[in-house]
Amino acid sequence: MGSYQTLFLDRDGVINEERPGDYVKNWDEFIFLPGVKEALGILNPLFNRIVIVTNQRGVGYGRMTEEDLKSIHHRMLREIKESGGRIDAVYVCMDIQADSPDRKPNIGMALQARRDFPEIDFSTSLMVGNSRSDLQFGRNARMCTVLVGNKYTESEKEPALIDYAFENLLKFAEKYQKGL
Ligand SMILES: [Mg+2]
């Protein structure tokens, strides 16, 4: 897998359980996926920067407020930190328009991250996500892409978009730690 400097992570379906057809609207609905805290502890020393990039249309649709989302992320970051992990920044796209430049698969949030952390180089960045839009985002920014989760069957997986695939973030972290 080589030596990567920056880790971009999707949130829903990577860090926490997805709520199909709904949004994570409050902390009670935010459930860490198994092994995620351990995974982030492993990944912490292995990357210069670790950031989350997440589409959250629920705000744009009025299903929750920006304050609700901030509160969820505040607690999420606290728990990650307490368990030895590190997230340097969380980028959120609340826009509902599919063609918003910030909404994955468009790369606005990657550009924001690079603005905040100028050392970020997409050619040494990994994007980990559970959806096609994450993989396409990674491709659009010319990052290495990692699919996690089981959203897609083998025949639905598009090889052109996927550099690596793992069952979950912990499996990825364990493999990455060994250097592949
Ligand atoms: Mg997702």
- Domain residue extents for the chain: 6-118+130-177
What's the CA-to-centroid distance between 129 and ligand 1, angstroms?
Answer: 6
Reduce the DSSP state of residue 159 to 3 states and report it: helix
Percent of the chain residues past pLDDT 90, beyond the cut? 96
pLDDT (0 to 100) of residue 71: 98
Per-residue pLDDT at 1 exceeds 60:
no
Per-residue pLDDT at 80 exceeds 80:
yes
Dihedral of CA atoms 115, 118, 121, 126 in degrees, nearest 10, equals: -70
pLDDT range class, residue 159, cuts 50, 70, 90: very high
pLDDT (0 to 100) of residue 3: 86
pLDDT (0 to 100) of residue 117: 98
pLDDT range class, residue 55, cuts 50, 70, 90: very high
**Residue-wise pLDDT tens digits, 90-145:** 999 999 999 999 999 999 999 999 999 999 999 999 999 999 999 999 999 999 99
pLDDT range class, residue 179, cuts 50, 70, 90: confident
Question: How many C-beta atoms lie closer than 10 Å to residue 58's C-beta?
Answer: 19
Mean pLDDT across the stretch 154-160? 92
The CATH number assigned to the domain with range 6-118+130-177 reads 3.40.50.1000
Q: Which residues are catalytic?
A: 10, 12
What's the CA-to-centroid distance between 157 and ligand 1, angstroms?
Answer: 15
What's the CA-to-centroid distance between 163 and ligand 1, angstroms?
Answer: 17
